[in-house]
Structure 1
């Protein structure tokens, strides 16, 4: 497949068009996407990305097709990890749920712009100095080691995510309001034009996107050195990320070992880059400037390894005791909250199903070992209050109709779930 100016122009036009469609038809009117809406649009964007890879096969360009799919899966995995940080930032700024779509789409747009700049810069550097792969490889190995060490030490830097240097600088330049004014970036207070938290959260996410690019771009250059492949794989991995956030919201937290999996992938790509650099070595102090006879890792093998590590990470996360504990705690809170939101005129069948789910997961949550409760419940008072309120509501309803509600009675008598 010939990659020329026309190819680049058509591809950029497609990506800009998809972004414009999102801005015009999805986030212009603030709303909370339903699961159905998020699922449909996630499938559409993933389908577009997969169909794009088939274009290479249609031209008989199998090598670039495999590189594209490998890079797409790698970048998609790293993007999902980025969603964790976006979630932390939005929680820190208390972004209303209906405005989170706009914040996420801004983050995706800024990420696309910043990573495109890094891709072009990386391509120029590689063209001028092929031994830069040594630096890329060693950098990824350091990042993987740092991420693994942070997980083992259980470091929590979330407090700093919403107070990075860019946010502090923005606050110094312009006065900021503590209150949201819809999804506006600026508002008026006491006759003065001030920034809203909406602008500050976008600044925080934009600054974080730049940091993500330092990990992301060296990693994908380990899959392909063709700038077009790197760009398209990165761009399509970011498209649809907003919908994916709302689709797997809740599941994200259950991927308790995702960081370990990503550390393993980054380490693998780092080793691949170092081997590639040794194979094409030009440094005079390594093997007298001659190529080192080492076995490089083919792209097909990279694809299998990346997919395999991700599959193992997801299965282990969801089936591990910690993952099961988090699922029980989240569902106990979720179904209790949903029960309190049932309309009074809800059909009896719907009410019974809601009660059964609430009881099931409340009992499961109470069986969670204490060590997981201490680790996984950030705000115990809030968690207890949500569940207690739901069971008090049910108990009052049961007493009014002369029915029994044994689980609710136990929860209320104890003053809430035993966390």
Structure 2
């Protein structure tokens, strides 16, 4: 009996490795000159941007958050780009003259708003100014919406900012808090369309402090674990969704109709969400971003984009890819292709009070500037964390003699 059970376990392990290898082979991608040319063709002139920003029109059809998880008759519309990150920011994409010598590249897609220029300035003066570390490359892009309701907002300001830094991605949606989930999808569409599949994509809020050395150590460890399990290349494309800020194994939908996070039984009947990342910061290979984005285009929308993408769409993709057939237990399937980074399993109180955020372990810290009812000086917090973490990192580096 023991021998039979051992054979069964080995058989399942072999099947899982075979499926992962097949997925990786199907998604091999090398940047080509065509990609660079296609990206350049999307560039829009300053005059076109100003005309679009000042036009008296409205964004495309809004997604009704109440129509949750039901299949749509038609595929969701593609978002249109009003501004794209400059070629200088995105090097190398497809240009053979810009050889990619990094061990791996991470693109951080920061969800921002036109009015949050001080936050973007603080990030550019802290972790977003670091382009390489320990053989890894980092690119930061800020995504904003095209339309806004702020009285007196000058569209020339965002044009000048993009001209100065080239790191703005603007899409044709409303630039307010209710459309943040659509920014997430638009960022995934852009990543799937333009980025190499082996790059790492991170979705982040614009009030997050980021400890690059600890993130690099975590990613390197994840790559090593993947190689030890599959013994195949490329390991980067096979990485799971990585909940860097917060992972929830068990979470209940909010059933209070007065809450902005309310989800009815009709929309979602189970008593618990599948394991998922909470927003703030999560990462995954671009190969997986493309798969989840394609799945999401035929699924009804959920206002909580983190649960929708990293929980529900992940489960839907696993079912569509027939990977679920390897597993007998729904519980084991639910935990497939998702991982919790150090400190990501803290409870709400620990997250709010920044518990255990020591310089040798913390990867991200949330200033809480996007939480209603909390008055936080986000820029001051971002700058303080950067100074504290950087000083601690230098001390540790000197102590190790490296």
**Does TM, scored on the shorter chain, surpass 0.5?**
no
The structure whose residues are more often helix, as a share, is 1
If you compute each CA radius of gyration, which structure gives the higher value, 1 or 2?
Answer: 1
The structure whose residues are more often strand, as a share, is 2
